[in-house]
Amino acid sequence: MQNRETAAVGSAQDAAPLSGDALEAVLVAELGDALVTRSADIDPRYFTAYNEPAGVRPRALVRPRGVDDVSRTLALCARLGQPVVPQGGLTGLARGAVALGGEIVLSMERFAGIDTLDAAAGTMTVRAGTPLQTVQEAAEAAGFTFGVDLGARGSCQIGGMLATNAGGTRAIRYGMMREQVLGLEAVLADGTVVSSMNRMLKNNAGYDLKQLFIGSEGTLGVVTRAVLRLHPLLAAPATALCRVRDYDAVAGLWNRMRTLPEVVSFEAMWPSFYDYVAHHTPGVAAPFAGDGGFAVLIECATSAPGGDAHHALETGLAAGIDAGLVEDAVLATSERQARDLWTLREGLAIDALPHLVNFDVSLPTGELGAFAERCEAALRARWPDVTCLFFGHVGDGNVHIGVSLAGMTDADVDALDHCVYAVVRDMGGSVSAEHGIGALKRPYLAHTRSDAEIGLMRRLKTALDPHDILNPGKVL
Amino acid sequence: MQNRETAAVGSAQDAAPLSGDALEAVLVAELGDALVTRSADIDPRYFTAYNEPAGVRPRALVRPRGVDDVSRTLALCARLGQPVVPQGGLTGLARGAVALGGEIVLSMERFAGIDTLDAAAGTMTVRAGTPLQTVQEAAEAAGFTFGVDLGARGSCQIGGMLATNAGGTRAIRYGMMREQVLGLEAVLADGTVVSSMNRMLKNNAGYDLKQLFIGSEGTLGVVTRAVLRLHPLLAAPATALCRVRDYDAVAGLWNRMRTLPEVVSFEAMWPSFYDYVAHHTPGVAAPFAGDGGFAVLIECATSAPGGDAHHALETGLAAGIDAGLVEDAVLATSERQARDLWTLREGLAIDALPHLVNFDVSLPTGELGAFAERCEAALRARWPDVTCLFFGHVGDGNVHIGVSLAGMTDADVDALDHCVYAVVRDMGGSVSAEHGIGALKRPYLAHTRSDAEIGLMRRLKTALDPHDILNPGKVL
């Protein structure tokens, strides 16, 4: 046994895969007992995607404590030809961070924490396993705001957010994760550590390598550390909910509101979505419930000393009312009320719908209304009793769809995917706005990207990970 | 002759290079007379870098009229093993768009113009050869602002600005060119057209391929077209010049001013620079001339209806004075006065200094003061009579240095480079903030990037351009 292991460690990637026992023994021997969990001992949370039943048990779990551990693990796996799934907080929605069969899982949860915060430069250096909320709180304590916020803030990790280029509710103000990163450190499939920890807003010295690892979902390298940029601290926000007649008025209101530098979020709820959450969110009194209009949540905030986000929002809404775009509006008068409005928008209530399937797509903002109509018509033509709930960030072209159908079968799920993504393709949109491709949307990548684009992606994958060790079966 | 050409066209890249005549004949035969200019007929402007004497005459000049022309040219050059220099408006400062010897030049100047402007989405689709000013004016006519501005706006082209990730004076508000692009079309070294013309702010469907071509200076592909994002139209700006005691006060003032959402530019002039331009800019009455302090130019502007950038700037400056950061300030009361302040900052007056050498480096904003001191001390230790003038964008960590020395020799120029870039390296800065590497800074890339980073850049270059056809001798 010992001989066989040693031989395997020294051999090329083409060697026959090790048995489970042999693999565990090699991992323990080379990486140490403290880093490795044997397959049988892995807690199901390491192989359970968000809101899904437990999936495939990985062959082993490795939890590195530092960059060197990541490098040694990947170098070993490259020698063994052993596929690896990099894993963050497992809050992704595209099944991108779980094993599909035959992989080990590399969880970054132990490599967490903030290395430094440079207040003069407005930057923070963090480790991949750090939860978003930790970053947000540290930024605020130092007088800064971090640019990305999303519901999973307590569990999602910076490394995973970078690997998936996470978006959220503030992208119209600050951009997605890609725009928050000045420098990045990543480990390649062969164990090479590429440290590109730039701290400047402007740096044009050679290729911007960090871009390779942002949004490529762990298929080109494992993100280990990042230099994040921080923004001036926002004072308490002003939040309002507006009633808007139709989607054209929503788009018109957005084009008006986006001129205000204080706007942080602009979130729209289609009538059917709003009607549902208004009636099924316990403890929240929903304004305009049952009116049958669109509801738009707008949040304004400013970092300017003496700035008045409430005044800006009120002025903007008054202009919207004068222009006939807004029919009615409610301004939150307390933090509690603002939270209630966000609770409606987050729409966790719809999770109770039977057999819910979620979509995350994007189109230019002005085309989202027509998209929703075409999409619902296509679904209803095949499933007359389908429930389609549209809601989303809208200001950045991103809409989510909750589709529910009593007695939905697996074949129905596939047919639903086909139906929705065909409309996205025909209108020139994206099958993934912010959730990534993972394993879930892989069959639909070609709906959004051309053969030439996918060919170039493969060329990059081959150049960086020739033996397909990193997150195989994801994205491509 | 004809036979040899035909053979060469069909042969691999390893064939012996064609003679000049044979190459011209093949280019004309395959691409047509209208696209090709023979070497002897090329106007010197196609081989003259900005502010430099005429350089190496290219073997031919090809000026495509469309993407298909670019594709056919590159496919042909790939077959011939013929190196190509992609060329925009030739306003770059790193000698990145001129031939070094043996290349043909591919000028994009004929593929110019705006394809579409989508006001509802706030996007514009443009061709690579379009001058920046054309884009700015079209954006303004439709009620939008384009996010990048720089002095060469009349001549620089969008393709070149993307290839070099151009920066300029508004990066603190809108980012560099990279942040202005939603979609991109590029042609690979083998002639493959990769069209990735995404129109959405959020799109996480697979790898973000456009990032490969932005800032890689034409070494990985030729940018042919882009979808640019537009920002709400800014009203007329408010401009002020402040007198500030020392660099720490400049950095403190920046940290205060950056909280104002109206700030578009924050530009600092070190005392020696300001003193020089104040006394050598004809027709401009410079405030605080001879005071010996730093001068900071601040510009504020807003897109908010009824917004008041003047009030915001005045309030910010008053707070700066109260905090002891600003000693004196002048607000421009006319467009003419504002332009005069910008004329001082642009500092064209220093071009008259003998043997001027320019630098463009970056460090975190808080460290630029110490950098300037160390840099000047290092230069003065070797050349006691050197003139060092520091100025730059500062809010984004970018400083320019004009170094002048009477009777400077070529050996002095090399020694100056060594001296300045050694200080940048020792302080962890970048040898190129916004100008790129080109041919000029290539010897210093390793001052800023590690062996692992340069190794990964080479891996990308080999994957995308295995025969080193695209802009050889630049960047890497």
Contact B290, B224 (CB under 8 A): no
Position B179 pLDDT exceeds 90: yes
pLDDT score, position A402 = 97
CB contact under 8 A, A432 and B205: yes
Contact A208, B214 (CB under 8 A): yes
Contact B473, B220 (CB under 8 A): no
CB contact under 8 A, A457 and B188: no
Contact A76, A36 (CB under 8 A): no
pLDDT grade, residue A15 (50/70/90)?
low
Alpha-helical runs (H) found in A164-246: 171-174, 210-213
Kindly report the nearest CA distance between residue A118 and chain B, in angstroms: 9
Q: Provide CB contacts within 8 A for A244, sequence distance 6+.
A: A250, A253, A268, A293, A294, A295, A296, A325, A326, A327
Q: What is the mean pLDDT of residues B443-467?
A: 98
Residue from B422, B362, B213 nearest A205 by CA: B362
Contact B335, B279 (CB under 8 A): no
Residue from B299, B290, B238 nearest B266 by CA: B299
pLDDT grade, residue A200 (50/70/90)?
very high
Contact A189, A78 (CB under 8 A): yes
Contact B55, B34 (CB under 8 A): no
Residue from B131, B149, B160, B159 nearest B346 by CA: B149
Contact A214, A296 (CB under 8 A): no
Tokens (6 digits) for A369: 């209304």
Q: Please state, as a whole number, how many other Cβ atoms lie within 10 Å of the Cβ of residue B34.
A: 11
Q: What share of chain B is helix, strand, coil (3-state, %, to 5)?
A: 35, 20, 45
Contact B408, A214 (CB under 8 A): no
Tokens (6 digits) for B470: 């695209």
Contact A184, A424 (CB under 8 A): no
Q: Where are the beta strands (DSSP E) in A174-245?
A: 181-187, 193-196, 222-229, 231-232, 238-244
**Dihedral-angle region of residue A383 (phi above 0 means left; psi in -120 to 50 means alpha; beta otherwise):** beta
pLDDT score, position A290 = 77
Q: Which residue in chain A has the smallest CA separation from B444?
A: A205
CB contact under 8 A, B120 and A319: no
CA distance B209 to A291: 44
Contact A231, A145 (CB under 8 A): yes
Position A143 pLDDT exceeds 90: yes
Residue from A87, A102, A84 nearest A49 by CA: A87
Alpha-carbon torsion (B28, B34, B36, B39), positive or negative: positive
Q: What is the mean pLDDT of residues A151-176?
A: 97
Closest in A262, A304, A397 to B200, CB measured = A397
Residue from B157, B30, B143 nearest B86 by CA: B157
Position A8 pLDDT exceeds 60: no
pLDDT grade, residue B289 (50/70/90)?
confident
Best probe of the B interface among A93, A195, A203, A209, by most B CBs < 10 A, is: A203
CA distance A237 to A239: 6
List chain B residues with CB under 8 Å of A432: 203-205
Closest in B167, B202, B305 to A397, CB measured = B202
Q: Which residue in chain A has the smallest CA separation from B167?
A: A202
Ordered domains of chain A (ranges, CATH): 2-110 (3.30.43.10), 114-232 (3.30.465.10), 238-348 (3.30.70.2190), 353-436 (3.30.70.2740)
The DSSP code for A22 is H
CB contact under 8 A, A428 and B199: yes
Q: What is the mean pLDDT of residues A266-284?
A: 96
Contact A240, A331 (CB under 8 A): yes
CB contact under 8 A, A260 and B304: yes
For residue B165, give the 3-state DSSP assignment.
coil
Q: What is the mean pLDDT of residues A265-281?
A: 97
Kindly report the nearest CA distance between residue A204 and chain B, in angstroms: 5
Count how many pairs of residues, chain A against chain B, have C-beta atoms within 8 Å: 271
Position B13 pLDDT exceeds 70: no
The DSSP code for B300 is E
Q: What is the mean pLDDT of residues B48-62?
A: 95
Kindly report the nearest CA distance between residue B162 and chain A, in angstroms: 12
Q: Are strands A357-362 and A387-392 parallel, antiparallel or unpaired?
A: unpaired
Residue from A98, A108, A107 nearest A47 by CA: A98
Closest in B258, B362, B475 to A203, CB measured = B362
CB contact under 8 A, A362 and B188: no
pLDDT score, position A6 = 37
Q: Give chain A's end-to-end CA distance (angstroms, integer).
A: 36
Closest in B202, B212, B319 to A167, CB measured = B202
Position A3 pLDDT exceeds 70: no
- List pLDDT tens digits, range A72-89: 999 999 999 999 999 999
Instruction: Compute the C-alpha angle B415/B418/B420, nearest 5°.
Output: 110
Q: Please state, as a whole number, how many other Cβ atoms lie within 10 Å of the Cβ of residue A445.
A: 19
Amino acid, res. A223: V
In three-state form (DSSP H/G/I as H, E/B as E, the rest C), the secondary structure along A344-407 is HHHCHHHHHCCCCEEEEEECCHHHHHHHHHHHHHHHHHHCCCCEEEEEECCCCCEEEEEEECCC
Residue from A163, A75, A90, A155 nearest A437 by CA: A163
CA distance A21 to A38: 9
List chain B residues with CB under 8 Å of A367: 120-121
Q: Please state, as a whole number, how many other Cβ atoms lie within 10 Å of the Cβ of residue B49.
A: 20
For residue A307, give the 3-state DSSP assignment.
coil
Q: ipTM surpassing 0.85, yes or no?
A: yes
pLDDT score, position B15 = 57
List chain B residues with CB under 8 Å of A198: 430
Q: Is A235 exposed, middle or buried (0-12, 13-18, 19+ CB in 10 A)?
A: middle
pLDDT grade, residue B11 (50/70/90)?
very low
- List pLDDT tens digits, range B325-355: 999 999 999 999 999 999 999 998 999 999 9
Q: What is the mean pLDDT of residues A366-384?
A: 97
Alpha-carbon torsion (A126, A129, A135, A141), positive or negative: negative
Contact A476, A439 (CB under 8 A): no
Tokens (6 digits) for A145: 């705001």
pLDDT score, position A9 = 42
The helix/strand count (H/E) of chain A reads as 14, 18
CA distance B54 to B67: 29
Beta-bridge partners for A404: A387
**DSSP letters for B56-69:** PPPSEEE--SSHHH
CB contact under 8 A, B203 and A164: no
List chain B residues with CB under 8 Å of A172: 201
Q: Which residue in chain B has the smallest CA separation from A248?
A: B120
Closest in B188, B193, B363 to A200, CB measured = B363
Alpha-carbon torsion (A461, A465, A467, A468), positive or negative: negative
pLDDT grade, residue B472 (50/70/90)?
very high
Tokens (6 digits) for A268: 């729209």
Alpha-helical runs (H) found in B214-367: 247-257, 271-280, 309-322, 335-346
- List pLDDT tens digits, range B185-244: 999 999 999 999 999 999 999 999 999 999 999 999 999 999 999 999 999 999 999 999
CB contact under 8 A, B306 and A315: yes
- List pLDDT tens digits, range A146-156: 999 999 999 99
CB contact under 8 A, A201 and B396: yes
Q: Is A378 exposed, middle or buried (0-12, 13-18, 19+ CB in 10 A)?
A: middle
CA distance A354 to A408: 8
Q: Please state, as a whole number, how many other Cβ atoms lie within 10 Å of the Cβ of residue B21.
A: 12
Amino acid, res. A208: D
CA distance A132 to A65: 19
